[in-house]
A and B are shown apart, each in its own frame.
Chain A
Amino acid sequence: MIRVEKLYKSFEGRIVLEDINVSFEPGKTNLIIGSSGSGKTVLLKSIVGLHEVDSGDIWFENTHFNKLDFKGRKSIRQQMGMLFQGSALFDSLSVEDNVRFPLDMFSDKTYREKMERVNFCLDRVNIQNSNKLFPAELSGGMKKRVAIARAIVLNPKYLFCDEPNSGLDPLTAILIDALIKEITEEYRITTLVNTHDMNSVMEIGEKVIFISGGRVCWEGDRHQILKSDNELLNNFVFANSLAKQLKATNSQ
């Protein structure tokens, strides 16, 4: 389980996260939702240690993660995989080299064993015959899938996804969501997904945390979200006209 306690984070005096207390359920897809600028990405990057927090505690099981130094964090980080908003594939490496990179760095496997694992992960995310392509030659959806393959190549215990659907068409977004859900269930990974896509919330959100203005305003699951009387949450969930119409129809 990942736990966050009394977390504060500011940038040059501007408070971005305030008194965050939240825990994420193991082996499930945990969603952090909120509008742009609400602090979702900062929270995710603080949890994985890419941002140093002002105060507060981050726990991975019984390990006090944010009190560890770089070497101490290394062992936890090797249990993490992350899908970045822009995929963050290494431009100078081909698809297979990108996916093989964590294995090259941290495993003693032979080249053949590594390639078997790379091909397995690429197959798992439905990428075939693209091993030698470079990131610049891939579509947005393919980049995300390769990034997922790279994230899972070391069999992580935790998967972090920052806006996995940003810049994707609705159909590809659904495929990426489904892939994240399948991988979470298949490997019993604790997954944290940052999103403002309500479709993702309804499809894969087993636990949902709503953030607004740097504070956790609501927690629940995807079924409770539509029935909530939290005004901030309702303004976010029913922001578009289609959702408003649906709500009006339901209430009649």
Chain B
Amino acid sequence: MMKFLSELGKYWLLMGKVFAEPENYKVYYKQTIRELMSLSINSIGIVIIISVFMGAVITLQTAYNTDNPIYPTYLIGLGCRDSIILEFSSTVIALILAGKVGSHITSEIGTMRVTEQIDALELMGVNSASFLIFPKVLATLMFSPFLTLISIVVGIAGGWIAGVSSGVITSSDFVYGIQYAFIPYYIVYSLIKTVIFAFIITTVSSYQGYYVQGGSLEVGRASTKAVVYSSILILLFNVILTQLLLS
């Protein structure tokens, strides 16, 4: 328990350093653009691939598990839409990004720590925590809503392709289903979750990397820890946010 509280305290102290006033806005701006490219834009591919297959599987599963004449077939489209918007495009994508982006951040910052690059920054008088972590947080917070929107659109399209091509639903029924009883707030809910999950992934992974001690083995261990802790926190906050935002 004491160790947990100590780690929590260290995390919040680190956040205090991260959100201190930047030394040079121009350099931070450039760094944020670089992080946008490396963390966010490079994740579009994997998000599209996962979302297409996720949408396809949800559609087929819904179709095969509601194979009853009393259910109208357009409900398959509705089920696909709501599953993707409410859970899959925010939570599942966040869990996958915790692996991809989280391990990348931890290994990058951890390697900088063990090769004394962070010491070099500190020695120059640079707030290394802020310089390294703040642009990453900003980049992922700015771009994660777009990733979620891409995932929603592509996921529903994947569902339509799978449903229509396998013959479990007609195109018109699917399109009717995805428009039926649509609640726009669900998108807002999904985006709020996404932003909070992005914050968790970036800060937890950065924390793990920033305090690495040792060598490459410890950097590897820290990356694993970052993915595990981020995933657990995402699942925990998913429950909390669902209760807070949908109750």
Contacts and interface: CB of A to CB of B under 8 A. Distances in A.
B115 A105 contact: no
A131 to B, nearest CB: 18
Contacts of A74: 125
A102 B23 CA distance: 11
Interface in B109-154: 111-112, 115-117, 119-120, 122-127
B27 A104 contact: yes
A175 to B, nearest CB: 22
Nearest to A50: B119
B206 to A, nearest CB: 16
Interface residues of A, number: 25
A90 B125 contact: no
A153 B125 CA distance: 14
Contacts of A86: 115-116
B24 interface: yes
B20 to A, nearest CB: 9
Judged by DSSP, the binding face of A is mixed
A174 B31 CA distance: 38
A168 B225 CA distance: 36
Q: Which of B112, B119, B122, B125 has the most CB of A within 10 A?
A: B125
Interface stretch (A22-30, A76-84, A120-128, A242-250): A76-84
Contacts of B115: 86, 88, 91
Contacts of A188: none
A77 B123 contact: yes
Nearest to B34: A92
Contacts of A89: 117
Interface string B142-171: 000000000000000000000000000000
A84 B119 contact: yes
A117 interface: no
Contacts, number: 54
Judged by DSSP, the binding face of B is helix
Contacts of B127: 70
B10 to A, nearest CB: 15
A73 B125 contact: yes
Given A104-B24, A105-B23, A91 B117 contact: yes
Contacts of B123: 48, 50, 77, 80, 82
Nearest to A147: B120
Interface in B17-54: 23-24, 26-27, 34
B129 to A, nearest CB: 10
B125 A82 contact: no
Nearest to B24: A105
A45 B127 CA distance: 17
A88 B116 CA distance: 5
Nearest to B124: A102
A75 B125 CA distance: 8
Interface in A201-217: none
A93 to B, nearest CB: 10
Contact of B124 (A45, A75, A105): A105
Contacts of A78: 124-125
A74 B34 CA distance: 26
The 6 residue pairs across chains A and B that have the minimum distance between CB atoms: A77-B125, A74-B125, A88-B120, A88-B116, A84-B116, A82-B123
26 contacts: A45-B119, A50-B122, A50-B123, A70-B127, A73-B125, A77-B122, A77-B125, A78-B125, A84-B120, A85-B116, A86-B115, A88-B115, A88-B116, A88-B119, A89-B117, A91-B111, A92-B34, A102-B124, A104-B26, A104-B27, A105-B23, A105-B24, A105-B125, A105-B126, A106-B23, A106-B124
Interface of B: 23-24, 26-27, 34, 111-112, 115-117, 119-120, 122-127
Given A70-B127, A90-B117, 18 more contacts: A49-B122, A77-B122, A77-B124, A77-B125, A80-B123, A82-B123, A84-B116, A85-B116, A86-B116, A89-B117, A91-B115, A91-B117, A92-B34, A102-B124, A104-B27, A105-B27, A105-B125, A106-B125
